[in-house]
Structure 1
């Protein structure tokens, strides 16, 4: 059994509604089921979602503070005041700044921009920057994607005679800054109907308010799309409309920077999607602010020079590669820190992970936090410590249902600064406060987080079949795009698929290629980053799959394929390591490498061998549950681990010795009732010891040779090898057939000699108990030593079911 990495919460669509949608809208049942599962159960709702509307944009003046913001900016334009755009260094901040530059260019304003350096200055407004603005004669600052928490800084600006218009989308604090205007849909008194705008979305609403909704260039939605997708904003309501239009414009982009980014990321413009933004464009834009300064990315998105755009996009691509290497190193260092402390916690890690390292680049701590969260499924905070000042700057990422921003509110007495969302946040504090910070977070989490909260969860949209995933049906799913937060790529569960092929692919064999079949229908799949599973999957394994769908296009041929996100082998699984001669190395490999896929914790991993061998292995295997066959049928606990935890705790059992007879095999299943995996580590018998499944012909042959030979070769020690040679049977097989003849009284054994019974009673072979046992033992040994894995697995499961 391979355990899935996540618990799959599968949506059950309204079947009646799905059927109605399929008929009336002329869409595939799969598309209709997905729409129904996402709450679009009526034809008008589903049609509006599929077709979208450019009129879905809300009146920008519904945003509280918008009227005051527009009036102040228009006054600045009339007076030819010097304006500063004050932005942020992430992809949303870069997009917001770039959009505001487009707007102020359009309005022929006198403006400049300022984005703080991520590692040298950190997030938000800074007094030294405001002093610099004052020195330049700036009288109006427009913030984008920042400012809602800048109470002291905006007070400083006011004292300098600088007015501030805040446009932001982050959670507002209890105390708000005294700005000329605060434009943020999340303000408690704001009645704007959609709260999910990105920072760039709020900036776009300001553009609509200043220019009129019909007069904003639609191409600007390309920039809105980048920030909205990159900042993980929900792709619903007007975000869906803006990103859909923006992505469509990107296919023939009017921005040199967008075209250059698509080129360096090898994005086919005709195949441009929101997913392309998320996984190809946004990381390169973010690399600018993470590794150097975000102004270079702003320059890319605002330049009108294609040659310059190409140069900058190449720089950002190189920075992104450096960022990837840096992240991998920091992740390994953080894992080493956590592993060194795992004995301190019941689950190996604390409820809230807080790791900090000297010299860690604050620009990538958020990515490191995300990777640690994926590995441990705990709210995670990663901080970089400046070794000179002792200041720590970090990022948090949280699990579903745990509001990390609220958690930081409860720790504000040890924090210098913080801000963010329920799922992600940033903070700074002195290293002297790290222990208190870690303690406060975990004390709070201990009262709120339950065991269920810490089980990794993922949402699946539909449980279907391979035959539903036709090329036409998968192509039609594009009508649900753009995909992102609140409208993710559909995840489909396929249960009971049989593996036809499983192999590791890629230069470093990091990825897994699958071919699976179900009721005559076949489909290929790719699982990125799961190449190690190729060792654990075999042809014939029946698996459950959680996957997204895509189209594989190669040399003009198009076919559907699965992008596998998670998988499980739900039933008993047999792991074939027969005859390797390295049982100890295999056992260590199972414990160290496969623990995330199979149960090998204390008491769950068992080793079973013959009783004599178990006695010699006690000291070597003192930390696993050791069991031995006794002389009869029973299986006995052989060390303190097996005695302490018992047989019912065993979920992964390693066989080091073959059972002596079929009853011992059946007793394994009767004893170890929680078995999920059986690992075969036993040696194969040599040719001289192998049994063959008996039939009447082989017994006739042996009987005939006995009749011919008994007058001259009654010495059993000579007769057995002679019969073995003549019948091509093993010595062991001949000896056991002679046992059958003796039970049936066909021969008489006496003091090492064999004589034929001259007047035997007529008795059929199957009346012999030993004959039946020989057949069962020969079948068992053939299955355990010679059969292929699918055949062996099927046989073992049938034996297990027979016992239960």
Structure 2
């Protein structure tokens, strides 16, 4: 890893903020690094308020969307809530359908089949709407590029409202309303909402129209917080407010489906990280291994006994998902070695039998191993489908645009995308992708970067400091957990490798005459040579709590060790 110590902000700004908040300068430094420079900004950061959410009607087409929904209710039309099969899509569908059903019964949900229909709006879904007399489809977390599909629906007399957060193409679908803060002509102040966040803005506008307050919508924020965590959107601005209140709901009064999941994993208080690693994979597993409908059913169920049954089913999908992704990852790593492709700028692997539902996870795992833009392909009917993952600082979406002559269709974000192409174009695409990446990537991006917020001494780490740090949460992109560096650290003689297969490193360290701190480095057994022979070293770490037999103590979660 290359360590990058974040530049120190201007001393005047730090001193001014430290004085106005009554905190130590190094706490003020962390805040200024996050763009927080005044007492008022700090107050908004530490005390997120629903009052700071933007007016939903600032979003382009919001008035048209609300008018069309109200007209559907007035005319007793059947409304179909359509969403993608991942966490963002299924939580969005659960959110909007459960809200509308509180006052209008003619609402149904539709999640496309990952294998038969693929990503986004499908002709099959539109045909289903026609066969079942739906005259309005509200699409969530998809649809921004569905030009032909929306036109096809229009020919059948079916209207579309699109709620998406992906980047639009050159043309916007001719839907009744297209809600997407990333539209060039949309002046909505916050651009980083997830699909479920855009869905929430729609129910916020509908609620306003009916004389309800934002506080009346709090119980839906557990879904929004889950989607924010799972979709890896920045936890800044509006997302921070929504995640903050959503976590409160998850921990105080979660919906029945979440209760059923949490009962199985026996976890008390959840952070956004727990949401990402405990709730999100289970919701995702339904769409990966079976069908996204299972997730929506669980998330909208109000009977705890039924929810418990659905949770058991979803747990089984998740177990199967883990086994499948482990097996495919091993096969993919073997393929890279067998084809002598360890030294390329990109990873592109393909096997026709790989499970389409887990290729995104496999792409992430390969990126962790080789740290370069990665694509994992599998057979999908007449075409090959792939999931793309990138490395920090490199826009894989733009790289795919550079290879578009070989691609049938693609969509996504800077760091994650999906695409399909014909088998005959695979080898040409693979060469083109390597060429585009080689010509455009800064080679330094192929070494993982560890950003360090500040250098501190062990004596700075006190319970009071940790209590303050905890208030920086929820953490995520745009507000990552602070990483610290300390130099001239020595293990006091208890350092050893731990774990069943001895892959982790446990140290007890001091810096000069400081109190000792226990540190754990997961998967860092190879650093034993540096740390466990009495020589001083420097460490990068985050501060954490460890609970053992009822005692809570501060510990360091080690990110890296250097001589």
With the shorter chain as reference, the TM-score category is over 0.9
Query: How far apart are the structure 2 equivalents of 1:121 and 1:173?
Result: 21
Query: How far apart are the structure 1 equivalents of 2:190 and 2:293?
Result: 30
- 2:514 is the alignment partner of 1:518: no
Query: How far apart are the structure 1 equivalents of 2:445 and 2:25?
Result: 34
- 2:241 is the alignment partner of 1:247: no
Aligned to 1:209: 205
Following superposition, the deviation at residue 28 of structure 1 comes to 4.4
Q: Per the alignment, in what secondary structure is the counterpart of residue 406 of structure 2?
A: coil
Q: Per the alignment, in what secondary structure is the counterpart of residue 392 of structure 1?
A: strand
Q: Which shifted more, 322-331 or 228-237? A: 322-331
Instruction: Describe how 1:558-573 pairs up with structure 2 within 5 A.
Output: 558-569=552-563
Following superposition, the deviation at residue 536 of structure 1 comes to 6.0
Instruction: Describe how 1:376-455 pairs up with structure 2 within 5 A.
Output: 376-386=370-380, 389-455=381-447
Query: How far apart are the structure 2 equivalents of 1:568 and 1:254?
Result: 43
Residues 82 and 137 in structure 2, CA contact (< 8 A), matched pair in contact too: yes
Query: How far apart are the structure 1 equivalents of 2:504 and 2:309?
Result: 32
- 2:497 is the alignment partner of 1:504: yes
- 2:110 is the alignment partner of 1:111: no
Sort the Cα spacing of 1:66 and 1:12 in 2 relative to 1 into closer, same or farther, 3 A. Answer: same
Residues 497 and 518 in structure 1, CA contact (< 8 A), matched pair in contact too: yes
Following superposition, the deviation at residue 13 of structure 1 comes to 3.9
Misfit runs of 4+, over 6 Å: none
Query: How far apart are the structure 1 equivalents of 2:559 and 2:511?
Result: 19
Residues 530 and 537 in structure 2, CA contact (< 8 A), matched pair in contact too: no
Structure number with the bigger relative contact order (C-alpha 8 A, sep ≥ 6) is: 2
Instruction: Describe how 1:9-88 pairs up with structure 2 within 5 A.
Output: 9-88=5-84
Following superposition, the deviation at residue 519 of structure 1 comes to 1.5
Out of 157, 160, 164, the position equivalent to 2:160 is 164
Aligned to 1:674: none
Residues 77 and 109 in structure 1, CA contact (< 8 A), matched pair in contact too: no
How far does the alpha carbon of each residue in 1:12-57 deviate from its partner, in whole angstroms, 9 at most, with x for none? 2444433443343233444322112222122222222112222110
Out of 3, 10, 32, the position equivalent to 1:7 is 3
- 2:141 is the alignment partner of 1:138: no
Gap regions ≥5 residues in structure 1 = 570-804
Query: How far apart are the structure 1 equivalents of 2:311 and 2:259?
Result: 10
Query: How far apart are the structure 1 equivalents of 2:520 and 2:24?
Result: 24
Following superposition, the deviation at residue 134 of structure 1 comes to 0.3
Following superposition, the deviation at residue 85 of structure 1 comes to 0.7
- 2:257 is the alignment partner of 1:257: yes
Sort the Cα spacing of 1:16 and 1:557 in 2 relative to 1 into closer, same or farther, 3 A. Answer: farther
Following superposition, the deviation at residue 174 of structure 1 comes to 1.0
Gap regions ≥5 residues in structure 2 = none
Aligned to 1:549: 543
Following superposition, the deviation at residue 121 of structure 1 comes to 2.2
Query: How far apart are the structure 2 equivalents of 1:160 and 1:446?
Result: 47
Query: How far apart are the structure 2 equivalents of 1:15 and 1:559?
Result: 33
Sort the Cα spacing of 1:468 and 1:332 in 2 relative to 1 into closer, same or farther, 3 A. Answer: same
How far does the alpha carbon of each residue in 1:134-190 deviate from its partner, in whole angstroms, 9 at most, with x for none? 000010000010110111111111111110100000111112211111000000100
Instruction: Describe how 1:608-619 pairs up with structure 2 within 5 A.
Output: none
Residues 394 and 428 in structure 1, CA contact (< 8 A), matched pair in contact too: yes
Q: Per the alignment, in what secondary structure is the counterpart of residue 84 of structure 1?
A: strand
State the structure with more CA Rg: 1
Aligned to 1:312: 310
Query: How far apart are the structure 1 equivalents of 2:274 and 2:27?
Result: 22
Residues 531 and 537 in structure 2, CA contact (< 8 A), matched pair in contact too: no
How far does the alpha carbon of each residue in 1:558-608 deviate from its partner, in whole angstroms, 9 at most, with x for none? 211111122222xxxxxxxxxxxxxxxxxxxxxxxxxxxxxxxxxxxxxxx
How far does the alpha carbon of each residue in 1:663-696 deviate from its partner, in whole angstroms, 9 at most, with x for none? xxxxxxxxxxxxxxxxxxxxxxxxxxxxxxxxxx
How far does the alpha carbon of each residue in 1:300-334 deviate from its partner, in whole angstroms, 9 at most, with x for none? 11110111222222222232222222222211211
Sort the Cα spacing of 1:396 and 1:514 in 2 relative to 1 into closer, same or farther, 3 A. Answer: same
Query: How far apart are the structure 1 equivalents of 2:336 and 2:33?
Result: 40
Query: How far apart are the structure 1 equivalents of 2:389 and 2:5?
Result: 21
Following superposition, the deviation at residue 390 of structure 1 comes to 4.9
Query: How far apart are the structure 2 equivalents of 1:27 and 1:106?
Result: 46
Q: How many residues align?
A: 557
Following superposition, the deviation at residue 80 of structure 1 comes to 0.9
Out of 187, 194, 210, the position equivalent to 2:190 is 194
How far does the alpha carbon of each residue in 1:511-543 deviate from its partner, in whole angstroms, 9 at most, with x for none? 221221101222111122224544664241322
TM-score (norm 2): 0.95
Instruction: Describe how 1:651-666 pairs up with structure 2 within 5 A.
Output: none
Query: How far apart are the structure 1 equivalents of 2:190 and 2:356?
Result: 32
